Structure 1
Amino acid sequence: MENQRKQLLKMIEEGRISADEAFKLLEAMEREEKEAKQKEEKAVEVSPFLDEKAFQKEEPPRERDLKKKVFSFLDQTVKKIKDTDLDFNFGTSYDVNQIFQHSDVEARSLDLDIANGNVKIEPWSQNEVRIECSAKVYKVNSQEEAKKLFSQETIFSTEEGKIRFNVQNKGIKVKAHLFIPNVEYNEIILRTFNGPIVGKDLKIGNLKAKTANGSLSFENIRGEKGEFETVHGALSLQNISLNKCEGETINGAINLRGEARHVDLQTFNGSIEQYLIQPSQYVFLKSTAGSIKTFFAPGAFIDGSIRSNFGNLTCNLPNVHILEEKNEKIQKVLKFRSINSGESVTKIVAESRTGAIGLYEREV
């Protein structure tokens, strides 16, 4: 049973099965083992998570608590989002294609909010804002009614230095492709409730991207601060250059490549993989049910600690002195520091409940 649970956790981490499917498999295995024990022993019901020693002590096993946190909580959260909140689209729909465009735009901020749909944003050489929309409109009886409702529910403006695009009707599923002037923006805010967000080649002061159900994918981002948040979806940040980068997801992997002085990445059910091309000042990485891998730039000076309850810890960095190492059954800790550290030192803290953590030097 222990090996089966480990295999299920690995399958979730690799994306081969969902948390919901793993939870149901665990429940089925529990029932089968419980019924077998009842027939053989005809005694007190014993959970398949309990070994003999745990049963003699009459204490709830740590594995059961872990299973509840990793599967039950996650299953309830994602199931609520998928089955209840996101059940927007049903019945007949009508397709509406429309292009919104304003010329001679002098804007330095952007605010986009779409309840249901996909977003892609990128700059272009024109001094114009162009939004190409493909929408499916539900709960209407004709094509004309669909066009009218889409026009009524859409807000598009480029006034007072701000680009605004807003579609809050959840019965309209929008696929929006934004082309914005290739200038540096003070702030860009992108929000969807049900759909992924993709952005590339952006120069910004502050970037905020948030969705409840969908992935976040950004490439070639230059700016001061980036905040990325999703509940159900992966987070991919490629070739970024930020002073501060914060990313969070409940159910999804996180992959970062680039440079940031302050990094804070957290996922509940998913792995974290990070490639830093320049030294950072502070890095915090946390995963409850996934592995963590970080690759540092050659010659980087490191000071920090990594810990996991059940996963293996690896610090494969040259010229690093191990300050403390704890390798107990339910808790592993490794504290370390580079020998002869220079002025620029990267402070790293990485934590995982069940997954392994590894620190490596990036190949040139």
Structure 2
Amino acid sequence: MEQKKRDILQMVQNGTITADEAIILLKGLESEKPEAKEQSGETALEEAVERVEERRESEPTERVEEPKATEEERTESSEEEPTMEQRSQDFFEDVRKEVTNVGGQFVKLFQSAFDQVRDTDFTPPFGKGITFSETSTIDAYDITRVLVEVDNGSIRIDRTESDVIDVTYDVTAMGVPSEEKARELFDRHVRLRRDGDTLRIDNDLKLSKVDITLGLPSRTYDKLELENYNGSIEVSGIVATDIKVEAKNGAIDLTESTFRRADLETANGKVYVKNVTGDELEVDTLNGVIFVEGELVEVEAQSFNGNVSVTTTSRHARKLEVESFAGSAEVYVPNGSGVRGELETKLGRIDVALERAEQHDEKGDLFKRVIHFEREGATPTIHVKGETSTGLIKVDETLA
């Protein structure tokens, strides 16, 4: 199958067949495949090709019989007529515009749906709620693991110079007749407990919003695990071996922290990581921008609908992988570092902005461009991999 596609494209380059004829042959090959096609953009490409074909076929093609031209006139005419390569480029440019237009409409619809979820962050179902605050303190001398899980509400973790763990709850209770009843429900459903070296906080109040703020003493923790279903999660100034953050509907902020491994995931919200130090970082969001900057060795960052930017300042960096379906993807490595990588896009633009980098194109499918690049440097080689569908994909180096 792949060899047949290459043969067809070679015939276009040689001028044996036209671009229109090549498209028909390629579509014929695809119809022979029994497997279902992936839905991640291939269908949109086919539909765009069909629309361009129909539009071009509808254009007038009749020609008026003209007297035979002289040799000089034929020469001038041939210079004015577009070449086979120009016609092919025009055709693919039309297809690219069609797909970009459809992709933009799809992304707007996708964004609108998530915005509706975000904007209904917590709508009181039974009128105005009852608000109050609670505080707790627990001895932290042997706590090395902190696990927090809430249904509705934000989570914030800060470093303190205290010897105890301070917990503050800001509660908005719904569907209760009085504050006394609200506090009774809070005491029954919001739990703070010590389990050996682990501090656990969980809340299963479905119709109340509980924002939790923890002040953790300055030390190294084995594990920090935070999860909520509706609300933002912020972590600042924490040192932990393992950090895991999962938000179903809310933004994630991780700043001024140190870790061996961190996993950050949200379905709807941006992810912001700055001034951190870590060996491994994995970031994933369906709808939102990803911004990462720090002294990081390995990073994997993926957003379905949002731009992705990853910057490492570590001279020991090994691997940086970025991917965005409906946005751009950018990678920044330390100045003068050794780099080897691969950038791939369907309809976007590729920019290898590294000085002294050798690069070459890989002949891929009809709607795919791949560039391999390499540069020797004063540091161990950083392996970079990036992929987009329609957006810019870029690799560059930091100024310092």
Give TM class, smaller chain. 0.7 to 0.9
Match of 1:320 among 357, 382, 385: 357
Match of 1:296 among 316, 333, 338: 333
The DSSP-based 3-state class of the residue aligned with 2:182 is helix
Give, in whole Å, the separation in 2 of the partners of 1:360 and 1:343: 16
**Higher fraction of strand:** 1
Equivalent residues of 1:253, 1:267 under 8 A apart: yes
Give, in whole Å, the separation in 2 of the partners of 1:316 and 1:204: 35
Gaps of 5+ in 1: 1-46
Which residue identity lines up with residue 171 of structure 1 in the other structure? L
1:343 CA displacement: 6.4
Give, in whole Å, the separation in 2 of the partners of 1:315 and 1:328: 21
Residue 241 (structure 1) aligns with = 277
Task: Give the TM-score of the pair, scaled to structure 1.
Answer: 0.79
Equivalent residues of 1:88, 1:171 under 8 A apart: no
The DSSP-based 3-state class of the residue aligned with 2:248 is strand
Equivalent residues of 1:115, 1:168 under 8 A apart: yes
Give, in whole Å, the separation in 1 of the partners of 2:183 and 2:368: 60
1:161 CA displacement: 0.8
Structure 1's 198 and 87: CA in aligned 2 closer, same or farther, altered over 3 A? closer
1:62 CA displacement: 4.6
Residue 53 (structure 1) aligns with = 53
* Structure 1 residues 163-312: aligned runs within 5 Å: 163-279=199-315, 280-312=317-349
1:51 CA displacement: 4.3
Equivalent residues of 2:100, 2:390 under 8 A apart: no
Give, in whole Å, the separation in 1 of the partners of 2:148 and 2:57: 57
Match of 1:122 among 158, 161, 164: 158
- RMSD of aligned C-alpha atoms? 2.8
Per-residue deviation, residues 17-57 of structure 1 (Å, max 9, x unmatched): xxxxxxxxxxxxxxxxxxxxxxxxxxxxxx99964424568
Which residue identity lines up with residue 89 of structure 1 in the other structure? P
The DSSP-based 3-state class of the residue aligned with 2:180 is helix
Equivalent residues of 1:257, 1:274 under 8 A apart: yes
Which residue identity lines up with residue 327 of structure 2 in the other structure? G
Which residue identity lines up with residue 351 of structure 1 in the other structure? E
1:213 CA displacement: 0.8
Equivalent residues of 2:297, 2:318 under 8 A apart: yes
Structure 1's 213 and 50: CA in aligned 2 closer, same or farther, altered over 3 A? same
* Structure 1 residues 336-355: aligned runs within 5 Å: 336-338=373-375, 340-341=376-377, 344-355=380-391
Give, in whole Å, the separation in 1 of the partners of 2:54 and 2:145: 59
Taking every aligned residue pair, what percent have the same amino acid on both sides?
19
The DSSP-based 3-state class of the residue aligned with 1:158 is strand
Equivalent residues of 2:296, 2:313 under 8 A apart: no
Per-residue deviation, residues 233-288 of structure 1 (Å, max 9, x unmatched): 00001011111100000110000111222210000110011221114211110000
1:306 CA displacement: 0.8
Structure 1's 54 and 106: CA in aligned 2 closer, same or farther, altered over 3 A? farther
* Structure 1 residues 100-119: aligned runs within 5 Å: 100-119=136-155
Give, in whole Å, the separation in 1 of the partners of 2:162 and 2:122: 38
Equivalent residues of 2:264, 2:282 under 8 A apart: yes
1:70 CA displacement: 3.7
**Higher fraction of helix:** 2
Per-residue deviation, residues 123-150 of structure 1 (Å, max 9, x unmatched): 2111111111111000111111111111
Equivalent residues of 1:70, 1:288 under 8 A apart: no
Match of 2:124 among 75, 89, 93: 89
Q: Which structure is larger by alpha-carbon Rg, 1 or 2?
A: 2
Aligned residues: 314
Gaps of 5+ in 2: 1-46, 59-94
1:323 CA displacement: 3.0
